[in-house]
Amino acid sequence: MRVRQRMEALLDLPRGSLTGEARLEIYAGRMAVMDGHCAVLDCEEDVIRLRTGGGVLCFRGRELRLAAFSAGGATVEGRLCAVEFE
């Protein structure tokens, strides 16, 4: 186990907090919050694709928008129909 992973376990932190792994939280199919390093690959009303350290995360739905974005994460809002890992 790596040092950062051990620190997460010892401090009872969510997995990925110190290692930079992406973490995704979805709220009632209307908002998704992704923490972790990412880059925008595609941003349209029906699909938003983000590159993360673990691959590409694809949000599909209607009226999608990138409500917030930084190198450390993103917030997608709209009517989420599917979330896929590519």
Q: Residues 28-80: pLDDT tens digits?
A: 999 999 988 789 999 999 999 998 877 899 999 999 999 999 878 899 999 99
What whole-number distance in Å separates Cα of residue 50 and Cα of residue 58?
6
Does the CA dihedral 55-61-66-68 come out positive or negative?
negative
Residue 30's φ and ψ, nearest 5 degrees, are: -115, -15
Here the tokens at position 34 are 């992704």
pLDDT, residue 86, reads 87
Q: Which CATH fold topology does 22-85 show? A: Immunoglobulin-like (2.60.40)
Domain spans, the chain: 22-85
- The β-bridge relationship of strands 38-43 and 31-35 is unpaired
Does residue 16 have a pLDDT over 70?
Answer: no
The pLDDT value recorded for residue 27 is: 95
pTM of the model: 0.78
